[in-house]
Amino acid sequence: MPSSSPASASTAHHPAADLGSPPPATPARRRHAVVGAGHRSQMYIDAIVGEHADLAELVAWCEPNPARAAYYDTRIGAELPRYQPDALEQMIAEQHVDRVVIATPDHTHAELVARALDAGADVVLEKPLTIDAAGCRRISDAVARTGRDVVMTFNYRYSPRNSALREVIVSGAIGDVTSVHFEWALDTVHGADYFRRWHRDKSKSGGLLVHKSSHHFDLVNWWLGDVPTRVFASGGLRFYGDDNARARSMGPRPARGTGATGDPFSLDLRADPRLAALYLDAEEHDGYLRDQDVFGPGITIEDNMAVLVDYARGATLAYSLNAHSPWEGYRVTVNGTAGRAELEVVERGAVQPDAEGNAVLDPSATPDVVEEGPRPHGERLLVQRHWSRAHEHPIPRGTGSHGGGDAILLADVFRGAQDDPLGRAAGYLDGVRAAAVGIAANQSMASGLPVLLADVDFGVELHATAGQTAAGQTAAGQTARGLR
């Protein structure tokens, strides 16, 4: 944890009460504000006050919950000015904010992005872009109107194994891609976690096909350098939720995990000091319960989903997501005209809660290694050309979270995307293309029919245009102009 930082010193000179002229010019340091100081914001906060403090400065919070803002004040060792969401524009003006980092619940993204752009700030946005077509239109319109930047932080692109698969495809080793088979398994701890708080409400997260799969759909769009055109989906809530619990005669359960002992489906916030500080101790201010029972009422998202996606250049994606698997990881097969690439990843081979029923929440961010047995933690990328033996393509190992990928992402975000042959930096159009698949999948699940993406108004043309390819586009300077 950063204890003292350049941010602490510099922000102390610009309290909320100082509404005068802009602070002395430090042109190289962009003034950032964090919008939504919850779990995810920490990575950005640490990067701004730590590794990238020479180019970035943290100047304010836009966060409705005072306990969470206070938590991050303590973390950075400074008291930053705090603003409520309805004062976003006021914050941008008073604190001379150049760029906001938005890490709020998904349903709030469209409004906050549009308002921040209109108020004169650029945006760094957590996935998903938004949860519906209206949100895409709102963001597209605001980008077109203001010409400002929206950087999408698709961190999965930066995982060395995912970058390696793109490298293989771009190299032409497997020829032109004809189809992709992609299975993602979330386990009964990490997968279950989407059924405890706002994600469980489709009107807040868009369901897992938007909230979670936007990572995966973005990966496929980027791996293929192609644009989705048609989507068919099927799925349902078949494991979590009160109806399923009743059907399996599970009996009465506590409404929340904190205080429940010995139940691996319960999350006891007291077991993790960070979770306790960010949520349990913050409940009194907004009633946000982080640990609701995954077998309780009110869940409106799916836990088993299958999606077929057609791509503009002719490939088909067959995708599935399961949120109650006994192990966590994913398998991707990419078929091409010259061969096949197969990526297999085990992030947690088995869930083994401790005596109190607790386990690491997200094994992709914090490894929870199970090395023994036939499903060891690990990753393997096999490439096999026609008429040849398979060979293992090397996956570079970095240090830090997500195999070192997060550090590269943060360098792109705060130091500017460099000339990257893999084109990992993503802009809002990549966000639209990824969210579009999940949004159309939701429509398809509701209607039982396939959805042509050309029939949905996302406010921007999804197809690549000259100089703005799905994979080659850089975040810097990207706008919606000329794309309508």
Ligand X SMILES: NC(=O)c1ccc[n+]([C@@H]2O[C@H](COP(=O)([O-])OP(=O)(O)OC[C@H]3O[C@@H](n4cnc5c(N)ncnc54)[C@H](O)[C@@H]3O)[C@@H](O)[C@H]2O)c1
Q: Applying CB under 6 A, which residues contact ligand X?
A: 35-40, 62-65, 68, 85, 103-106, 108, 112, 126-127, 155, 211
Q: Is 482 left (phi over 0), alpha (psi -120 to 50) or beta?
A: left
Q: Are 185 and 329 in contact (CB under 8 A)?
A: yes
Task: Quote the least distance from Cβ 20 to ligand X, whole Å.
Answer: 26
Task: Quote the least distance from Cβ 412 to ligand X, whole Å.
Answer: 14
Task: Quote the least distance from Cβ 107 to ligand X, whole Å.
Answer: 9
Task: Quote the least distance from Cβ 19 to ligand X, whole Å.
Answer: 22
Nearest alpha carbon to residue 66 among 32, 37, 94, 101: 37
Cβ proximity to ligand X, 197 vs 340, nearer residue:
197
Token duo for residue 186? 């979330």
Q: Are 228 and 221 in contact (CB under 8 A)?
A: yes
Cβ proximity to ligand X, 130 vs 244, nearer residue:
130
Cβ proximity to ligand X, 6 vs 85, nearer residue:
85
Task: Quote the least distance from Cβ 450 to ligand X, whole Å.
Answer: 27
Cβ proximity to ligand X, 274 vs 481, nearer residue:
274
Task: Quote the least distance from Cβ 389 to ligand X, whole Å.
Answer: 36
Cβ proximity to ligand X, 100 vs 343, nearer residue:
100
* Beta strands 56-62; 378-385: pairing state: unpaired
CA angle at 68 for the pair 81 and 347, rounded to the nearest 5°: 130
Task: Quote the least distance from Cβ 89 to ligand X, whole Å.
Answer: 12
Cβ proximity to ligand X, 85 vs 404, nearer residue:
85
Maximal C-alpha separation, the chain: 72
Q: State the Cα–Cα distance between residues 92 and 120, nearest whole angstrom.
A: 8
Cβ proximity to ligand X, 35 vs 186, nearer residue:
35
Cβ proximity to ligand X, 140 vs 159, nearer residue:
159
Task: Quote the least distance from Cβ 84 to ligand X, whole Å.
Answer: 8
Q: Are 182 and 216 in contact (CB under 8 A)?
A: yes
Helices 213-224 and 428-447, packing angle to 10 deg:
120
Torsion angle in degrees (nearest 10) through CA of 141, 40, 265, 65: -90
Task: Quote the least distance from Cβ 400 to ligand X, whole Å.
Answer: 14
Cβ proximity to ligand X, 105 vs 296, nearer residue:
105
Determine the 3-state secondary structure of 177 from DSSP: strand
Task: Quote the least distance from Cβ 359 to ligand X, whole Å.
Answer: 18
Determine the 3-state secondary structure of 33 from DSSP: strand
Cβ proximity to ligand X, 298 vs 314, nearer residue:
298
Instruction: Please name the residue that has the structure tokens 């590269």.
Output: 408
Q: State the Cα–Cα distance between residues 52 and 45, nearest whole angstrom.
A: 10
Cβ proximity to ligand X, 11 vs 108, nearer residue:
108
Residue 14 Cα distances to 11, 99, 201, 247, angstroms: 5, 16, 39, 58
Minimal CB distance to ligand X: which residue?
38
Task: Quote the least distance from Cβ 130 to ligand X, whole Å.
Answer: 10
Q: Are 70 and 281 in contact (CB under 8 A)?
A: no
Task: Quote the least distance from Cβ 270 to ligand X, whole Å.
Answer: 17
Q: State the Cα–Cα distance between residues 98 and 122, nearest whole angstrom.
A: 6
Q: State the Cα–Cα distance between residues 426 and 368, nearest whole angstrom.
A: 29
The count of residues in the chain is 484
Q: Are 466 and 423 in contact (CB under 8 A)?
A: no
Alpha helices in 197-282 (DSSP H): 202-205, 208-211, 213-224, 242-247, 273-278
Nearest alpha carbon to residue 66 among 287, 286, 272: 286
Cβ proximity to ligand X, 129 vs 233, nearer residue:
129
Q: Are 110 and 41 in contact (CB under 8 A)?
A: no
Q: Are 54 and 414 in contact (CB under 8 A)?
A: no
